[in-house]
Each structure stands twice: as C-alpha cells, then as structure tokens.
Amino acid sequence: MWTTESIWFEIAIVSIIYAVGNILMGHFEERTPKIRRVGKYILTLFIVCGISIYIGREVSMIFLAAFIIPLLYIHAFYLPKKKGINGWTGEPKSKYYEFRNWDKNIFNK
C-alpha cells in the first residue's frame, strides 16, 4: 500500500522542508511578498521533481541536500563577518533590515 517509488515522495520531502522552514524561520521573511515565497516553493518543487524524473531520485536528493553548503556559508561566515549580523537570530534588526533593503520603521506599511 505505501510506497516511496512515486513522485509524491519528492513532493512530500520538499513540502516538509518548506513547512518546517516557515514555522521555525518565517519571522525572518516577514516583509517578503507572499507571492515570492509561494513562487520560491513552487520553483523548488518543479526543479526537484524534474531532476527526479529525468535524471533520478538520488540526484534530486543530492541537489536538495547541497543547499546546506550555501546555508552554512551565509549564516556562519558572510552575515556575521561581512555584515555584522548574527546569522541565526538576525540581530541587530536594523542591520538585517538594511541588508534586506526593508524600511527600518516597522510601523510603515
């Protein structure tokens, strides 16, 4: 009855990653337009599923896992050393908002 041999496995893996990411890290994307966030999810889903269909599941999972490398580089080196922003908490908020080109006055809409 249960099988991981269908494309739904890739859809589930990508969806779980995005769900957990939005639950734990969504507050860092508070000013990102919703359409951009949804678009990023759909694009990632299409890329991973396309790689799985045309090249193979192993390659698609390696592709997905490879995103750990830039994540660690950005959060452990680039943000703290180059920008003075804590890569895990996004503090100080003023520098983080400046880095994201967001208005620092949170009450402006």
- pLDDT of res. 50: 96
The whole-number average pLDDT for the span 7-18 is: 93
Q: Is the pLDDT of residue 34 over 70?
A: yes
Each residue of 54-91: pLDDT tens digit? 999 999 999 999 999 998 999 899 999 999 999 888 88
Whole-structure pTM value: 0.81
Domain residue spans in the chain? 1-66, 68-109
Burial class of residue 49 in the structure, from the number of CB atoms within 10 Å of its CB (0-12 exposed, 13-18 middle, 19+ buried)? middle
- pLDDT of res. 108: 62
Which 3 state secondary structure label does DSSP give 28?
Answer: helix
